[in-house]
Amino acid sequence: MTNPRSPLGHHLLADFHGVAPELINHPGNIARYLEEAARCIQVTVLGCHVHHFGEGGGVTGVLLLAESHMSIHTWPELGFAAVDVFTCTPQPPHEAIRYLEQVFKPGRLVVQQSLRGVEQG
C-alpha cells in the first residue's frame, strides 16, 4: 500500500481576474466552455452540473470526469472566475486553462499547480 509510485494526478487552480462580467454570468455558456475545455484535454465527461445564482449573481458548475473533475465559480460583479482542473493523466491539463484564457481574456491569470497522490520519498 505504500510502494513509491508516480503522482496520481495533476491539479491546477486558476484564478481569472478582470473578466468581462457578461462572459461569466450565463449558465448555458459556462457549461459549453467547460465541455470545450474538457475536449481540449481529451478527457471523458461523466456529468455536468451548473447552477445559476440569478441575474448578476454568478454561476457555479462542475464537470465530473472519468479522469477526475473540473469546476468553475464566477463572481460577475467582481469580474472574477475561479477554475480548478484535476486529472489523473500523465500530463497536467494546461490546455484546458489556455482555452478558458482565450474565452475569458482575463486582465490577470494566476495558476497554481499541485501534484496529487505523491508517495513519501
Residues with active-site annotation: 68, 73, 88
Q: Which of 33, 86, 99, 104 binds a second copy (CB under 8 A)?
A: 86
> Which cell goes with 18?
478582470
Least separation in angstroms between residue 118's CB and a second copy is 7
d(CA 97, CA 43): 14
**Which residues, other chains included, contact 25 with Cβ-Cβ below 8 Å and sequence gap of 6+?**
55, 56, 58, 59, 74, 76
| Binding of a second copy by 114 (CB under 8 A) | yes
Distances in Å between the Cα of 33 and the Cα atoms of 5, 90, 99 are 34, 23, 9
Q: Give the nearer residue to a second copy in terms of CB position, either 36 or 110.
A: 110
Residues lying near a second copy in the complex (CB under 8 A) are found at: 1-2, 5, 8-9, 11, 13, 15, 17-18, 46-47, 49, 51, 53, 60-62, 64-66, 68-69, 71, 73, 75, 78-80, 82, 84, 86, 88, 107-108, 110, 112, 114, 116-120
